[in-house]
Amino acid sequence: MKIDFVVSLPYNELMAKAFCKKNFKVNLTNIKEWTRGFEKEWRKHERKILNKIEEYSGIKWKEDKIKCYVVGNSPISISSPLTIPIFKNKRVALKCLVHELIHVNIAGVNKPLLSPKSKEAQTFRHIGLYLIYNQIMKKFFPGEKIYLRSELENPRYKKAIEISKKLEPKWKKSNKNIYEFMKYYLKGGFS
């Protein structure tokens, strides 16, 4: 599996219209330059991170390549289509990409269990995501802050992070992939 980074003028213009002031001009030169630098950083970790996401989730990647659109004018990242904004700090962008890639991987198999119909489905989906994310950040970026400020300020993410921290020892002890572990959790385990 490999990530292909794409800088698209129409997509950047669309995101600019959605998130910026009226007369915002897209600077593709800056976006492409940032993307080249980020891609070099990402390639150092790509294979190991993608393998660990697959291992921890228990879900094989469905594709050999995934396009990741890079935008210079969005305050958010998106898993479909995979999109990350540029950041001054490339480590922040890397964390953002890992988060979205876990979403892509988990959504890669039609297993509605990981998206239960409930008032807090968004929180539930992120519990499994953060169990995987926590392990990847600790393994590949020890000593760094794990979470972005935006995650800690979002009530759904914050709740999922707190639950994932409590469940982490049980997940490690269970020796189950995230799908099997969350299935057990959903059935009322760990109460």
CB crowding 85-115: b at 16 or more within 10 Å, else e: bbbeebebbbbbbbbbbbbbbbbbeeeeebe
Residues 74 and 156 occupy one common structural domain: no
Give the structural domain span for 91: 2-107
Contact (CB, 8 A) for 60 and 177 = no
Please check the confidence at residue 187 and state whether its pLDDT lies above 80: no
Residues 70 and 119 occupy one common structural domain: no
User: 52 exposed, middle or buried (CB, 10 Å; 0-12, 13-18, 19+)?
Assistant: middle
pLDDT tier at 188 (50, 70, 90 boundaries)? low
Look at residue 154 and give its three-state secondary structure.
coil
Does 191 map to a domain?
no
pLDDT at 110: 47
Residues 10 and 51 occupy one common structural domain: yes
Which tokens in the block code for residue 110?
């039609």
Strands 82-85 and 78-79: antiparallel
Last residue of a domain, one of 48, 76, 107: 107
Last residue of a domain, one of 107, 134, 158: 107
Residues 28 and 92 occupy one common structural domain: yes
pLDDT at 122: 76
Across the chain, mean pLDDT equals: 87
CA dihedral of residues 52, 108, 36, 130 (deg, nearest 10): -50
pTM here is 0.90
Report the pLDDT averaged over residues 71-81. Answer: 88
Please check the confidence at residue 6 and state whether its pLDDT lies above 70: yes
Q: Which residues contact 82 (CB under 8 A, 6 or more apart)?
A: 3, 66, 67, 68, 69, 100, 101, 104
Last residue of a domain, one of 45, 78, 107: 107
Look at residue 50 and give its three-state secondary structure.
helix
pLDDT tier at 54 (50, 70, 90 boundaries)? very high
Instruction: Return the percentage of the chain with pLDDT > 70, whole number.
Output: 90
Residues 70 and 129 occupy one common structural domain: no
